[in-house]
Amino acid sequence: MPSYLDTFIDCEGWMKFNESSDVTTLHYVEFWNSGPRSSTSGRVKWLGYHVLNNPKDVQNFTVEKFINGSEWLPKFDIPYSSGLVST
């Protein structure tokens, strides 16, 4: 979120880690993607796969909320955005 998905991305968008992967336990979300493979019409049909469109629904997945990024990322001197970046 939000990501540019180029043509090398498979239309299904996601794949199992290996054949014994249990896709019934996952939670995959797409939000505000762009690019030639951003259409979600051909994505996997797993119960845990979701397309979200409301920024309020993805706030908990931002760098700040999900990994407390402001507490430790600054010491690595890497550029990042702690919140949601609109495209």
**CA–CA distances in Å: residue 87 to residues 32, 45, 83:** 8, 27, 13
> Shortest CA distance to 69 belongs to which of 53, 80, 59, 58?
80
Q: List the beta strands (DSSP E) in the chain.
A: 28-31, 49-52
3-53 pLDDT, tens digit per residue, is 899 999 999 999 888 988 899 898 899 999 999 999 999 999 999 999 999
- How does pLDDT run across 40-51, given as a tens digit for each residue? 999 999 999 999
Query: Tokens 């001197």 label which residue?
Result: 77
Q: Is the pLDDT of residue 87 over 70?
A: no
pLDDT value at position 85? 79
- Residues 50-76: what's their mean pLDDT? 93
